[in-house]
Amino acid sequence: MSVKYIQKLPASGIALSITENSLQNGYAERINGTVTNDYMQFFHSDDLAQ
């Protein structure tokens, strides 16, 4: 990851979605997939704030 790129993200309100150790990325992606596919389908919102 470029240091310059990482430094510009907060000004745009963007947070990185990476782990400190690349070996953890698969685990993190699996959890994200489980939350998105198995749980979020039951929650409906009218806007981003909800």
Give the Cα separation of 36 and 11 in Å (integer): 27
Question: What are the DSSP calls for 32-45, one per residue?
Answer: HHHIIIIIGGG---
Q: Tokens 């947070």, residue?
A: 15
Give the Cα separation of 14 and 41 in Å (integer): 24
pLDDT tens-digit profile of 33-49? Answer: 898 888 887 887 788 77
Q: Tokens 């400190």, residue?
A: 20
Which pTM was predicted?
0.44
Give the Cα separation of 36 and 15 in Å (integer): 18
pLDDT tens-digit profile of 4-23? Answer: 988 888 888 888 877 777 78
